């Protein structure tokens, strides 16, 4: 018996990295999955983004655990597309219990030829995309009348200015701070429906968003530009699974009275 038997989880940014890790873990715990990803490149993002094959790999990983999964290619920046994805997922899988608003981008570089475009793309994805995701899902949770758990992925950048002075870097910090405001607002509004809303704040995670040539160059040539200090614990980057463990707890019955919490998984980064 898994902790999430008979439950359904919606995950954005599910094609790889943290999103795939969440999908696999929740499937291991018995949940079916609605997996959403853009599976395309955003021009201002300097590293390769997820592909349709990445999303297909997530599907295979979940199906190998004998769980159902609906993969939807959709842009979190598009509210109508997210509403359609939720409706399709609920129609096929029967319900919705958990919402993991994980999709996000980082547009950080040594040069920023279009700071306005970079700022807009990051805000639209990391902030508006989170709002679109949660707003599309909450009516289902309310109508079901059985509560639910929503977890928003912020960052240590949600409490500390890291990321540099480019348009994309400033937007990253602004968006991750704002996600915590959304979390607290949603937690307050939907508590009467027994819907819990929390956020996780990871330090650097070993995913393609961090492990890429662009960021490696910045850290080699101009590390001070990002205002990044080491984690307090002796770990440079945490694993996606470390974030997944925390999210699984927040969605479990063990956390049934935990809401409105900003939970760092940061190796002590924010303590410095």
* Averaged pLDDT, 3-18: 98
> Is residue 270 one of the residues assigned to a domain?
no
Return the minimum-mean-pLDDT range out of 126-140, 211-225, 226-240.
211-225
pLDDT of residue 230: 86
Q: Where are the alpha helices (DSSP H) in the chain?
A: 17-28, 52-63, 79-93, 115-123, 129-144, 167-190, 213-221, 240-251
* Averaged pLDDT, 46-57: 96
* Averaged pLDDT, 241-260: 98
pLDDT of residue 69: 98
> Is residue 203 one of the residues assigned to a domain?
yes
Distance CA 147, CA 71 (A): 24
> Is residue 152 one of the residues assigned to a domain?
yes
Distance CA 171, CA 42 (A): 15
Distance CA 76, CA 153 (A): 14
Rounded to the nearest angstrom, the gap between the alpha carbon of residue 144 and the centroid of all alpha carbons in its chain is 24
Quick check: 90 pLDDT over 80? yes
> Is residue 2 one of the residues assigned to a domain?
no
Indicate the pairing of strand 98-101 with strand 69-73: unpaired
pLDDT of residue 210: 83
> Is residue 271 one of the residues assigned to a domain?
no
> Is residue 3 one of the residues assigned to a domain?
no
Return the minimum-mean-pLDDT range out of 177-191, 219-233, 256-270.
219-233
* Averaged pLDDT, 143-160: 97
Per-residue CA distances from 224 to 175, 177, 220, 228 (Å): 21, 21, 10, 7
> Is residue 110 one of the residues assigned to a domain?
yes
What is the DSSP code (8-state) at residue 94? Answer: S
**Could you read off the pLDDT of 198-211 as tens digits, one per residue?**
999 999 999 988 88
Residue 272's pLDDT band (cuts 50, 70, 90): confident
Longest dimension (CA), the chain: 54
Q: How many CB atoms lie within 10 A of CB 223?
A: 11
Name the one residue in this structure whose structure tokens are 């996606």.
240
Distance CA 157, CA 246 (A): 18
**Could you read off the pLDDT of 108-135 as tens digits, one per residue?**
766 788 999 999 999 999 999 999 999 9
pLDDT of residue 268: 96
pLDDT of residue 219: 63
* CATH number of the domain bearing residue 241: 3.40.50.720
> Is residue 67 one of the residues assigned to a domain?
yes
Residue 163's pLDDT band (cuts 50, 70, 90): confident
Quick check: 5 pLDDT over 90? yes
Percent of the chain with pLDDT over 90: 84
Active-site residue, from 47, 172, 190, 257 = 172
Percent of the chain with pLDDT over 70: 95
With left for phi above 0 and alpha for psi between -120 and 50, is residue 122 left, alpha or beta? alpha
Q: Is residue 47 annotated as a catalytic residue, yes or no? A: no
Q: Which domain holds residue 217?
A: 8-264
Report whether 26 contacts 68 (CB < 8 A): no
Report whether 247 contacts 196 (CB < 8 A): no
Is the sign of the CA dihedral 65, 70, 71, 76 positive or negative?
negative
**Edge-first strand listing for the sheet containing 8-12:** 69-73, 32-37, 8-12, 98-101, 148-153, 195-202, 262-265
> For the chain, what is the domain count?
1
Quick check: 176 pLDDT over 80? yes
């Amino acid at each position: 018996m898994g902790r999430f038997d008979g439950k359904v989880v919606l995950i954005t940014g599910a094609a790889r990295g943290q999103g795939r890790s969440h999908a696999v873990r929740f499937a291991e715990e018995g949940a079916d999955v609605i997996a959403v990803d853009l599976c395309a490149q955003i021009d201002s993002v300097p590293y390769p983004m997820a592909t349709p094959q990445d999303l297909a790999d997530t599907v295979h990983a979940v199906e190998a655990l004998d769980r159902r999964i609906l993969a939807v290619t959709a842009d979190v920046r598009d509210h109508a597309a997210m509403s359609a994805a939720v409706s399709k997922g609920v129609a096929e899988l029967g319900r919705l219990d958990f919402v993991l608003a994980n999709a996000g981008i980082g547009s950080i570089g040594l040069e920023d030829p279009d700071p306005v475009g970079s700022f807009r793309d990051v805000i639209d994805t990391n902030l508006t995309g989170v709002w679109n995701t949660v707003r599309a899902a909450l009516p289902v949770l309310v109508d079901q009348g059985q509560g639910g758990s929503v977890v928003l992925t912020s960052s240590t950048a949600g409490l500390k200015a890291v990321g540099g002075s480019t348009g994309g870097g400033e937007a990253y910090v602004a968006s991750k701070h704002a996600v915590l405001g959304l979390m607290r607002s949603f937690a307050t509004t939907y508590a009467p429906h027994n819907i819990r809303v929390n956020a996780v704040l990871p330090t650097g995670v070993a995913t393609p968003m961090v492990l890429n040539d662009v960021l490696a160059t910045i850290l080699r040539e101009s590390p001070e530009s990002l205002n990044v200090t080491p984690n307090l614990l002796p770990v440079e980057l945490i694993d996606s699974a470390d974030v997944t463990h925390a999210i699984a707890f927040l969605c479990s019955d063990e956390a049934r009275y935990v809401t409105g919490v900003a939970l760092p998984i940061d190796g002590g980064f924010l303590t410095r």
